[in-house]
Structure 1
Amino acid sequence: MSFIFELITSFVRKMLELLTFGGKTLKNTLKIYVKTNTGRTLTVNLEPQWDIKNVKELVAPQLGLQPEEVKIIFAGKELSDATTIMQCDLGQQSTLHAIRMRPPTIQREKLLSMSFEEEEPTGTPTEEASKPLNETLLDLQLENDERLNITDEYRVRAKAHFFVHCGQCDKLCNGKLRVRCSLCKGGAFTVHRDPECWDDVLKPRRIPGHCESLEIACVDNAAGDPPYAEFYFKCAEHVSGGEKDFAAPLNLIKNNIKDVPCLACTDVSETVLVFPCAAQHVTCIDCFRQYCRSRLGERQFMPHPDFGYTLPCPAGCEHSFIEEIHHFKLLTREEYDRYQRFATEEYVLQAGGVLCPQPGCGMGLLVDPDCRKVTCQNGCGYVFCRNCLQGYHIGDCLPNGGSTSAPNSCEYAVDPNRAAEARWEEATNVTIKVSTKPCPKCRTPTERDGGCMHMVCTRAGCGFEWCWVCQTEWTRDCMGAHWFG
């Protein structure tokens, strides 16, 4: 009987140990992963009001270490014991890195042997330096002189707020800035300085740091230079997907800390897009969407050799093209798909290709420069002349897109093939598109209502014999290959 009592008592004690830590009851826990540079990953439950000292006391025994032998790294910074979990802005299933503290003598010998230009600090980090990047950065749109003259009220509003397009949420979201080693991609990385502008974040090899993701620290080259930081963004509005979670940064979207009105609707919005022009014109997000929609409907996006299919500032400013095309994902999914299709078509045209002129197709085709007869392969199968974009024909193209009218005539120029499609009833349009093709010689619409593929043009004075499939002159090859389909 006493054995059963002791068993129950032991079970209750274990449950209390799981539910309490240092006399603190777990009420609003965060499930956090703690990774070490030895390859271990621990899962712990933390309270937002706990500090890093509590985390060390919880993690150290599981690593066979004393709390003072452990340092915690998160978002490019070593966290001090006084930093709270709430200050780190951790989300569910975020990752902390627990690294064994090396003795200062070993650190110094290691740094000297690796010829680091900057000596790694060995003492306890200051409170400001130990906070993650999201806590220490001012908004990256501010210039250095603006940071020096900033007021306390302005400082609160200017705290770094990042915006991303999250593929999982499929919308504009708040983002979190994260950092990892550019060599091993490990997150146990501390930066030598905070980024001060978007170039520091978006361009490679701007800020060096120290990597402890591996038991042997990474070096950038044979000279032993420190590795560089690689910055990336995560969505702050859903549970973290781990260190491989990624969201596209939208660096032109900012909190409107200066209360600048929109250039289109003149309203002052909380979140705005700032164009990369010298004047830094501001537009609200709704007006930016409308601007993109109108230009998309008119196919007024512009191909840029460096940035792709993009738009400039609507005020007509020079050097104002949007470099990060993920900003156009603020459109609906259907509109963005159309944007990608137009961008692909523009790329085909820029590469010397051609688009299928058949209504409802528009397939991009890359063909040889000397090729005149083009077949829409993997598309609608339409065969057309590359020069005039009409049905393929023998001989020279007719002037004015197939019109035989005199240049100064008031007669309305009508292309027979287009006229055949310009019918009121949709059913008639479909029927003509499917059952008629132009004669390759005179381009008179010819209907096939059954029978073989050997066609004879019925237009007076023409009588050209041609193949319905090849849309060229009828030959024995056509007879052998597809006489009857």
Structure 2
Amino acid sequence: MWFLIDFIRNIMNHILQLFRFGRKTITNKLSIYIKTNTGRSLAVDLDPKWNIKVVKELVAPQLDLQPDEVKIIFAGRELDDNIIIEECDLGEKSILHAVKARPRKKNLDKHDLERNVIEEGIEESSSSKPLSQTLVDLQLENEERENISDELKERSKAHFFVHCSQCKELCPGKLRVRCSICKGGAFTVHRDPECWDDVLKAHRIHGCCENHEIPCVTNDQGDLPFAEFYFKCARHSSGGESDFAAPLNLIKINIKNVPCLACTDVVDTVLVFPCASGHVTCLDCFRQYCLSRLMDRQFICHPDIGYTLTCPARCDNSFIEEIHHFKLLPKQHYDRYQHFAAEEYVLQAGGILCPQPGCGMGLIVGEDCLKVVCQGCGFVFCKNCLQGYHLGECLPEAPNSGNAGSCLYEFDPERAAYARWDEASTVTIKVITKPCPQCRTPTERAGGCMHMVCTRSGCGCEWCWVCQTEWTRDCMGAHWFG
């Protein structure tokens, strides 16, 4: 009989849901997911005009709970019953967390009592409006937060910008939070972030995790876990809790109406350099600044940050730490930025770049190694002079005239073949020829075996096309014909 009673109860619950929600016309449907701490996930359509109490009434029967036993958690907050859905910064395919309210423990020891006091403080501070409605712009100081005028309240709300890999451009962002231990989203924070360090650095803000029946703790004493903040793009549907976008923390709403450092225009969205003065530039001027430094290869290879820039005013301690800001450059220029950054990394590490046109592969070689074989194009060259591998000493560089008024024009006769008007000819010569290892005369192989004999008068060096060294029996046995 018990299964029949259970069946009838489920039917009655279903009829009740149809009665409550079926006759309501959803004028602007919002499709979201509701996850429970039992592992279930429900796909529901909500009307943005509904409040959280309606959501609880919709979800409670699915969890075999009463509506007043359900907690709805989103973006680090337990949402009150009277919160309207459209106020919560929800997008399509967003996730709400529905969990059962935990009963309070009795007969607590001192540590548990302290923990309960913290949890009560978290519930008191977090059970209210969603984070998107209460969070103040992170660039404001504490005194400025307390004295915001009514006309600036809306503008001073926190605005975030991200670089979205899906949209491939600068986009408005949404702040989200999860447990630093289990990475679950049924997590409530004990206070709002007050600065960018609270958001970007670990172990700054505690919270309560309710993703499981047994809550996450950081140690044997049961200390509360920390919040882990991350960002999503606000322009497209959520890709779940694993979806995230790179935060561009230097880009801000210009709530103080500061003019651009370069063009002096006052614009709404600006980049604030991380210097003590907080110099401001509009995004167009920032792109021009990056582009000019990039073309002159004046970016700085910082050992901890990477290939970056400082404030244009050359302020101390003003390195741009989040290099995703350079994705504001057009794609072809950002690709060049990455190319230059890779080259600088190799050079800083004591490596060299393959001198063959069209290659440029980075190579790390030993200090005593003079003969370098490129793993990319196979070019064999001298580590010291970066010319084709040779026997004997490297040729000295062509001397430069120290007299600015002199009309003398000096050049290296051996390199005359490369100084062609047609750049394509220069590249072709370097690609299809190899220098004689003894006299450096560019030599083209037109077929036949790998045994080369230099035809330059007075040289006659016999050498191997593959090894670029003198011809030996080993060359004859290993690759005479390829």
TM-score, length of structure 2 as denominator length: 0.90
User: Match of 1:116?
Assistant: 115
1:48-447 correspondence to structure 2 within 5 Å = 48-105=48-105, 109=108, 112-113=111-112, 116=115, 118-121=117-120, 125=124, 130-377=128-375, 379-400=376-397, 403=398, 411-415=408-412, 418-425=415-422, 428-447=425-444
8 A contact 1:271–1:284 mirrored in 2? yes
- For residues 288-314 of structure 1, give each alpha carbon's deviation from its aligned partner in whole angstroms, at most 9, with x where no partner exists: 112112222222111111111111111
Q: CA RMSD in A?
A: 2.6
* Helix, strand or coil at the partner of 1:338: helix
- For residues 19-55 of structure 1, give each alpha carbon's deviation from its aligned partner in whole angstroms, at most 9, with x where no partner exists: 9628632111111111111111111111111111111
Q: Using the alignment, how far apart are the partners of 1:367 and 1:123 within structure 2?
A: 57
Instruction: Count residues in correspondence.
Output: 467
Q: Using the alignment, how far apart are the partners of 1:110 and 1:36 within structure 2?
A: 30
User: Match of 2:6?
Assistant: none
* Helix, strand or coil at the partner of 2:163: strand
8 A contact 1:115–1:223 mirrored in 2? no
Q: Which amino acid aligns with 1:248?
A: A
* Helix, strand or coil at the partner of 1:399: coil
* Helix, strand or coil at the partner of 2:93: coil
Q: Using the alignment, how far apart are the partners of 1:477 and 1:406 within structure 2?
A: 46
Q: Which amino acid aligns with 2:90?
A: L
By how many angstroms is 1:15 displaced? 11
* Helix, strand or coil at the partner of 1:169: coil
Give the counterpart of 1:455 among 439, 447, 452: 452
By how many angstroms is 1:395 displaced? 1.5
8 A contact 1:453–1:482 mirrored in 2? yes
Q: Using the alignment, how far apart are the partners of 1:298 and 1:477 within structure 2?
A: 47
8 A contact 1:19–1:26 mirrored in 2? no
By how many angstroms is 1:155 displaced? 2.0
8 A contact 1:129–1:136 mirrored in 2? no
User: Match of 1:8?
Assistant: none
Cα distance change, pair 429–283 in 1 and its aligned pair in 2 (3 A): same
- For residues 104-159 of structure 1, give each alpha carbon's deviation from its aligned partner in whole angstroms, at most 9, with x where no partner exists: 346x8599548628432289857x85222221111111111221222121222110
| Greater Cα offset, 410-419 or 97-106 | 410-419
| Greater Cα offset, 416-425 or 354-363 | 416-425
Instruction: In structure 2, list runs of 5 or more residues that go unmatched.
Output: 1-13
* Helix, strand or coil at the partner of 1:205: coil
- For residues 221-272 of structure 1, give each alpha carbon's deviation from its aligned partner in whole angstroms, at most 9, with x where no partner exists: 1121100000000111001111111100000001111111111222212111
Instruction: In structure 1, list runs of 5 or more residues that go unmatched.
Output: 1-13
Q: Using the alignment, how far apart are the partners of 1:405 and 1:331 within structure 2?
A: 38
* Helix, strand or coil at the partner of 1:296: helix
Q: Which amino acid aligns with 1:121?
A: E
TM-score, length of structure 1 as denominator length: 0.90
8 A contact 2:122–2:191 mirrored in 1? no
